[in-house]
Each structure stands twice: as structure tokens, then as C-alpha cells.
């Protein structure tokens, strides 16, 4: 829309004690599409404005009673009418008269005798400027409202963060510490129990039969404490990562060395689940730039996830390779904008697989797999894994289909040696 186009349907108040001038103004302004209000002195003009606010006022300077300057001053002192543009009409041509008009708040000056075309152009110009001022004022008000809303949201976030900090401290102190203490006691009792039995070679068969069930109970209590402690730690770390991010201590890391140690440590659990793990990470891969402890947790979460959601006897494969941004299709739904070379690490299984719907939500908070009726937990492992990989500047994804296993892959930046 052209802001300087004729503003038809605008309301103009004409204030002049000369009927001839009023007749001329009424004739061409009404033909131009304006709505008109008419007053013949300042007092009647002020009274009309009490009922109807015009968009612009054409005001004669020399009038009986309240003159044009005084009328304009009264209007500008009223908060309700101070923004209405006032254009003076007068036969006075001295500079001092024009300055007086501008000082009391007029926006323009028209010299008599009136020229219709000039009046129309000035009216349209000031109506356009007034519309622009209104729009700017509305935008400023909207911006102020947005600022207030964002400030309120920031205060709410800060309040929520403080509440979360208190909650995490409470969980850590009131829940984790007692569970940790109980776990230490159980481990101590279990180790001491069998050492005492071995020393008492003359222990009777009856005593042994009493001790064995007791040990089984203690072992179950120990496993339960372990699970509770892991759950508490995961809850604390999950919500802390949401607020403060995942802390990283990155260093050049040989992936083959880390995964070799990982496989060795997981051998008892793999044996328990009758699972086979193939270690296919090449020893000649370039080092990655990663936090070894956090990366260890990612691999553990992926292995544990496969063992949890599949029946015994599956085969797991850990592999890795160097890729570029053009070769990351296995991650599926990301915008692979990295220009550097990356390491892609994969943990695959030949288990029951998942549907595409399950894959889409797998890394969300508190999402659990379809087979979790065999296990307990809140589904925090994969969510934390995504947080960790994202903090490294990598991406993580999964490809799977029912009865075809699942392949989890993530990327890590390659360590760039400084050029000497």
C-alpha cells in the first residue's frame, strides 16, 4: 500500500469562522472521500472532539473567542487529543506567526487564499505520517510486550533451574548416599562371609546349607542396590545435562584401544546373555577428539540396550570407519553440515529389530523399547548417549526393521594435529 495515497474514509475537523472558506473546504474534501466535521470557533471545536476524535484538524488561526493558537495548545495538553495532527490556515505570512504555530504543536501551515490541490496533498501527507507513527507505536508496544514476556520466561527458567539444582542436590544427597552406603555394607558382608567360611574348614554341612540361601538373598539385595544407584545417577545426569550441558574433557583418543578394553570388561555379561561380540574396529584409525569416559558410556549404553531388548544368543558387532559428510546416510534424518572428516562408529545386533515409528522416538527422554517388559528402567541410556554425542559435535541415529536387527551409529570428529 502507498502510504502517500489519498486517505479516504479519514475524518477531518474543519475549524473556521468564515463560511466561504468552509464551503470551499467542504466541497472538495467531501468529493475526495473524507468524512467531515465542522466548527466555527475554537470552543465548539473542543466540544465536538469530546464526542468524536478526528484523524486530522484544519484550524484557522484568527477566530473570535478562543483563537487557533490557544485551541491548539489546549488540544496538545490533553493526552487524548495530543497526537491528532493540526494544520493551521491563516493569511498571516510573517515568520514569527509560523513559528508561534509550530511552537504550540501544529504540524503544518497553509496560507490563505486556500488552494484545493495544495490542501489535499498536505492532508494526505500528514495522514500518511500519522499512520506510520501509529504503526511504529504499535510495533514498539508489541516489542515491549515481547521483551516483558521473554523477561518473564527467563525468570521462570532461572527459577526452574534453581528448583532443579535443589532437586538434584536432594536426590544426590538424600537418595544416592544411603544407597551407596547400603551397597558398600552388602559388598563388605558378602566378601567377609565367604572368607570366614573358608577359614572354618570344620564348618558343618548344616551351616553351609544355611549360609548359601543367605548369600543368595544378599546378592539379590546387592544387585537391587546397583540398579537403584544406576537409576539415580542417570536421573541426576539426564536433568543436569538439560540445564548445564554435558561436561567434556576431550583428548586425542584411539578408538581401537578403548573398544578393546570395553569388550574385555563386558565378557562376563555377554557370557551371561549367551551373546557373541565381534570387535571390528581397525587399529589404524586416526585418533578422535573425544572424552574417553563419556564415550565409554555411549558404547556401554548401546551394548546394554541390545542385550536388554533381545532374547539370549544374539550376535553384536562393533565397527568403525573414516567417513566424510557425503557418506553419512546411515544417520538418516540429520543435516550433515560438517565439512571435516569424521569417524563413524556402529554397534549392530541381529536381534528382533524395531519399527520405523519406534526408531523415530528412540532417543527421546523416557522412551523405552518394545521389549522392555523383560527389563526395568526409565529409558535414559539412549537419550544420554545422544546428549553426549551432540556435545562432541557428532550425530547419532539408528536403522532397524522388525526381525532384521538394529544398527546404531554415531559420528565423532577426527583429531586435527596442530601444524608446526
pTM, entire model: 0.49
Closest CA to 6 of 132, 141, 121: 121
Which residues does residue 347 pair with via DSSP β-bridges, in sequence order?
A: 318, 408
Mention every residue, 6+ apart, whose C-beta is less than 8 A from residue 133.
83
What is the distance between the alpha carbons of residues 3 and 417, in angstroms, rounded to a whole number?
Answer: 61
Listed in sequence order, the residues at least 6 apart from 380 whose beta carbon sits closer than 8 Å to its beta carbon are 234, 235, 238, 365, 366
Please state, in angstroms and rounded to a whole number, the distance separating the CA atoms of residues 98 and 107.
11
Please check whether residue 281 is in contact with residue 318, taking contact to mean a CB–CB distance below 8 angstroms. Answer: yes
To the nearest 10°, the Cα dihedral for 229, 366, 343, 295? -10
How far apart CA 286 and CA 6 sit, in angstroms, is: 72
Q: Tell me if the domain spanning 11-114 has CATH number 3.40.50.1980.
A: no
Query: What is the CATH T-level fold of the domain 251-413, as seen in this structure?
Result: Heat Shock Protein 90 (3.30.565)
Q: How confident is the prediction along the chain (420 residues), in pLDDT tens digits per residue?
A: 444 444 558 899 999 988 888 888 998 898 888 999 999 999 999 999 988 999 999 999 888 888 899 999 999 999 999 999 999 998 877 788 888 888 999 999 888 888 888 889 999 999 999 899 889 989 999 999 999 999 988 888 787 777 666 666 655 655 566 666 666 766 776 666 555 555 554 455 555 555 556 666 666 666 656 656 665 666 666 666 565 667 778 899 999 999 999 998 889 889 989 999 999 999 999 999 998 888 988 998 899 889 988 999 999 999 999 988 655 554 544 444 444 689 999 999 999 988 888 888 887 765 555 444 344 444 567 888 888 898 889 999 999 989 899 999 999 999 876 544
Cα–Cα distance between 41 and 63 in angstroms, integer?
6
Amino acid at each position: 500500500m502507498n502510504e502517500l495515497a489519498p486517505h479516504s474514509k479519514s475524518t477531518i475537523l474543519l475549524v473556521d469562522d468564515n463560511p466561504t472558506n468552509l464551503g470551499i473546504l467542504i466541497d472538495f474534501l467531501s468529493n475526495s472521500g473524507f468524512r467531515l466535521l465542522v466548527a466555527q470557533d475554537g470552543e465548539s471545536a473542543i466540544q465536538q472532539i469530546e464526542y468524536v476524535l478526528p484523524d486530522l484538524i484544519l484550524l484557522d488561526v484568527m477566530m473570535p473567542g478562543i483563537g487557533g493558537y490557544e485551541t491548539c495548545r489546549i488540544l496538545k495538553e490533553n493526552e487524548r487529543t495530543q497526537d491528532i495532527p493540526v494544520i493551521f490556515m491563516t493569511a498571516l505570512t510573517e515568520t514569527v506567526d509560523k513559528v508561534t504555530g509550530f511552537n504550540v504543536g501544529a504540524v503544518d501551515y497553509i496560507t490563505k487564499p486556500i488552494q484545493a490541490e495544495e490542501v489535499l496533498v498536505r492532508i494526505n501527507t500528514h495522514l500518511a505520517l500519522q499512520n506510520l507513527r501509529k504503526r511504529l507505536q504499535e510495533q514498539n508496544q508489541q516489542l515491549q510486550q515481547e521483551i516483558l514476556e521473554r523477561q518473564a520466561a527467563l525468570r521462570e527458567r532461572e527459577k526452574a533451574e534453581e528448583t532443579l539444582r535443589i532437586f538434584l542436590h536432594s536426590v544426590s544427597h538424600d537418595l544416592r548416599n544411603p544407597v551407596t552406603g547400603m551397597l558398600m555394607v552388602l559388598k563388605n558382608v558378602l566378601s567377609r562371609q565367604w572368607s570366614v567360611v573358608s577359614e572354618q574348614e570344620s564348618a558343618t554341612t548344616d551351616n553351609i546349607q544355611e549360609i548359601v540361601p543367605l548369600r543368595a538373598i544378599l546378592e539379590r539385595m546387592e544387585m537391587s542396590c546397583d540398579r537403584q544407584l544406576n537409576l539415580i545417577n542417570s536421573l541426576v545426569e539426564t536433568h543436569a545435562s538439560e540445564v548445564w550441558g554435558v561436561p567434556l574433557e576431550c583428548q586425542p583418543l584411539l578408538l581401537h584401544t578403548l573398544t578393546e578394553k570395553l569388550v574385555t570388561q563386558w565378557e562376563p555379561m555377554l557370557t551371561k546373555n549367551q551373546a557373541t561380540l565381534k570387535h571390528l574396529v581397525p587399529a589404524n584409525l586416526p585418533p578422535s577428539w573425544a572424552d574417553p569416559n563419556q564415550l565409554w558410556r555411549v558404547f556401554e549404553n548401546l551394548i546394554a540396550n541390545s542385550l536388554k531388548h533381545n532374547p539370549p544368543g544374539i550376535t553384536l558387532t562393533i565397527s568403525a570407519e573414516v567417513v566424510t559428510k557425503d557418506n553419512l546416510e546411515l544417520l538418516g534424518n540429520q543435516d550433515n553440515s560438517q565439512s571435516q572428516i569424521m569417524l563413524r562408529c556402529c554397534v549392530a545386533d541381529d536381534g528382533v529389530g524395531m519399527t520405523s515409528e519406534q526408531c523415530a522416538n528412540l532417543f527421546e527422554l523416557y522412551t523405552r523399547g518394545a521389549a522392555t517388559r523383560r527389563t526395568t528402567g526409565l529409558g535414559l541410556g539412549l537419550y544420554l548417549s545422544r546428549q553426549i554425542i551432540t556435545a562432541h559435535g557428532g550425530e547419532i541415529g539408528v536403522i532397524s526393521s522388525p526381525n532384521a536387527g538394529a544398527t546404531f551409529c554415531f559420528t565423532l570428529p577426527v583429531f586435527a594435529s596442530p601444524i608446526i
